[in-house]
Structure 1
Amino acid sequence: MKVLYFAWVRERIGKTEEVVEPPADVTTIADLVAWLKGRGEEYAYAFENETVIRAAMDQLHVHRDAVITGAGEIAFFPPMTGG
């Protein structure tokens, strides 16, 4: 699946997107975040306060318990404000 990173999540990880193949036991957004955090210091830093990071699956906002099976694209971004 393709994973996209936006704003300071992107800056901390150092890339805008990547294609990943998480293990079979990674079935939810929360699982994916935990798995990504284990991939390196930059991921751990980006997701250090993972409860504030928002996610979208195939361009629809989802919660941390959303099942990612079959997803083509997951995006992570910080909370947004209007102005």
Structure 2
Amino acid sequence: MAVRLVFLGKLADLAGVGEREVSAPLDWAGLLAALPGPLGEAARQDRTRIAVNGALLADKTTLQAGEGDEVALLPPVSGG
């Protein structure tokens, strides 16, 4: 089984898809390796947040996801 990556907002535009599956288990280094070019750069930004199964991570570098987990990448929120 795999980990499902979900891209929201401008990150979906960069990915070209809303979702992608990657091999489990997945940690921060594995996530970065799975996200090429501008998408990986966007994930590294301090304002990009990561949630695992709906729970926001306080420190995205602690990412640990296993089979069947969903990892959502959330772009910085803008608005007024």
Question: How far does residue 77 in structure 1 lie from its aligned partner after superposition?
Answer: 1.5
What are structure 1's unaligned runs of at least 5 residues?
38-42
Aligned CA distance change for structure 1 residues 56 and 12 (closer, same or farther; 3 Å): same
Which residue of the partner structure matches residue 72 of structure 1? 69
CA RMSD of aligned residues (A): 2.1
With the length of structure 1 as denominator, give the TM-score of the two structures.
Answer: 0.70
Conserved in 2, the CA contact under 8 Å of 1:3 and 1:17? yes
Q: Which aligned segments of 4 or more residues in structure 1 are displaced greater than 4 angstroms?
A: none
State how far apart, in whole Å, the 2-side matches of 1:66 and 1:46 are: 17
1:57 aligns with 2:55: no
> More displaced, 43-52 or 71-80?
43-52
**How many equivalent residue pairs?**
74
Q: Whole-Å Cα distance in 2 between the matches of residues 76 and 58 of structure 1?
A: 11
Q: Distance in 2 between matches of 1:9 and 1:58?
A: 18
Deviations 1:3-45 (A, max 9, x none): 10011111011000022115x6x4x2x21332113xxxxx311
The structure richer in strand per residue is: 2
Uncovered stretches (5+) of structure 2, i.e. residues with no partner: none
**1:34: which partner in 2?**
32
3-state secondary structure, aligned to 2:23: coil
Counterpart position of 1:15: 17
Separation of aligned partners in 2, 1:73 and 1:16: 13
With the length of structure 2 as denominator, give the TM-score of the two structures.
Answer: 0.72
